Amino acid sequence: MVYYVLMGLLDRFITNKTITPLTDVAASYAPYNIQAAVGGVFFGTQSATREQAMSVPACARARNIICSTVGSLPIETYNHFTKEHIRPTRVLMQPDPRIPGSATYAWIAEDLLFTGFAYGQVLDSYSDSDGARVRAWTRISPDRITYQLNYNQTEILFYRIDGEELPLSGVSSLVVFNGLDEGVLNRAGRTIRAAQELEKAAEMYAKEPVPTMVLKSNGTNLTPERITRLLESWKASRATRSTAFLNADVELQALGFDPAKLQLNEARQYLALECSRAVGIPASFISAETTSMTYSNMTAERKALIDFSLRPILTAIEQRLSMADFVPNGVEVRFDIDDFLRGSALERAQVYEILNRVGAMSVEQIQEEEDLIR
């Protein structure tokens, strides 16, 4: 009891200073998701590379459809409170002044799709009443990026590009786009590598469209030079004629299976379907399943593409570009998907007729929507 009384008197006569923590968000440490480390442990050598993924036709087509579509979508800015349309700034439409904006966003979408992260480096910035804003930035390949974690493995102290430490804010700092999963190369690495091995097998059987052959000598042992000449002569002869003649001291033996017995076509079709599942794209878009496509269900397929393939990538890009270093408070960035999902001319005319009749759209607004005003 005496101890607590003395401590109370001590606290009473000692001046306490209230410390208010000040956090500079622009220059604060970046949070680190421990799941990335866990994913690295579990996936390990099971992950795939971009080169392996792009060597598989199904993955390459899925990447091109998703990323090219993202790159082609217009970017719009809106007032979050009034929903008023605001003209987007140059840094949103063309981040890197040296190349079109579509190229930048297509590669950002690929990085998010394959690795779960995308990076840009600030080329130029300016200051206003709300703080520093990015004026120009360019995409940086994720394989050039490394980072240093704190002791608790919870925050990123700084990033490096090609081993060179970068500032946390301002020119040369990174613009980090956080994906919504660990990326296809990690999540479906084994599937991608299996598909690549099937492509190699198909290439091998295209070059040698018969089972593996062995020429066996029934006589004396041949020298390495004579064996090499015999094999070269055999290959050259098979390139000009299918009929072969062997002496009594040479015997032909066939090993392995032919492509029909290996069911290469069926296996490749199955892995194409698995790749579509891993990427999250409808199988019909990469011809992984046979369907009869009409205009009516093509519209539904495009909506499915937006909902299940593009939405996670679009959301990651939109929300990052809506942060304070790109736009003022209360302004949000969105991709315009109306043109991508628009129906046929007859369907649009019917909708316009109803909207005009109820007073929701004027004739001038309809003409502007259809690009009929010159």
The DSSP-derived string for 42-110 is HHGGG---HHHHHTSHHHHHHHHHHHHHHHHSPEEEEETTT--EEPPPHHHH-SSTTS-HHHHHHHHHH
pLDDT above 80 (res 259): no
Other Cβ atoms within 10 Å of 369 Cβ, number: 15
* pLDDT 10s digits, 118-149: 999 999 988 765 557 899 999 999 999 998 88
* pLDDT in the model for residue 33: 64
* pLDDT in the model for residue 245: 67
Q: How far is the C-alpha of 69 from the C-alpha of 340, rounded, in Å?
A: 9
Q: How far is the C-alpha of 247 from the C-alpha of 255, rounded, in Å?
A: 20
The token duo for 150 is 């704190």
CB 160 within 8 A of CB 18: no
The per-residue pLDDT of the chain, averaged, comes to 79
* pLDDT in the model for residue 293: 52
* pLDDT in the model for residue 131: 59
pLDDT above 50 (res 22): no
Closest CA to 85 of 372, 257, 331, 266: 331
- Percent of residues, the chain, with pLDDT higher than 90: 32
* pLDDT 10s digits, 322-332: 998 999 889 99
pLDDT band at residue 114 using 50, 70 and 90 as cut-offs: very high
- Distances in Å between the Cα of 273 and the Cα atoms of 92, 178, 279 are 36, 27, 10
Burial of 272 (C-beta count, 10 Å sphere; 0-12/13-18/19+) = buried
The CATH code that applies to domain 212-255 is 3.30.1120
- Tell me which of 312 and 339 has the higher pLDDT: 312
Say which CATH class 31-208+260-342 falls into.
Answer: mainly alpha
Identify which of 163-167, 237-241, 291-295 has the greatest average pLDDT. Answer: 163-167
* 248-261 average pLDDT score: 60
pTM exceeds 0.85, yes or no: no
Burial of 317 (C-beta count, 10 Å sphere; 0-12/13-18/19+) = buried
* pLDDT 10s digits, 60-106: 999 999 999 999 999 999 998 888 889 999 999 999 999 999 999 99
pLDDT band at residue 241 using 50, 70 and 90 as cut-offs: low
Q: Domain residues of the chain, as ranges? A: 31-208+260-342, 212-255, 344-374
Rg (CA), the chain: 31
CA 26 to the chain's CA centroid: 26
Closest CA to 185 of 31, 308, 40, 318: 40
Instruction: Classify 214 as helix, strand or coil.
Output: strand
Angle between helices 295-305 and 57-72 (to 10 degrees): 90
* pLDDT 10s digits, 182-220: 899 988 888 999 888 888 877 777 666 555 677 777 777
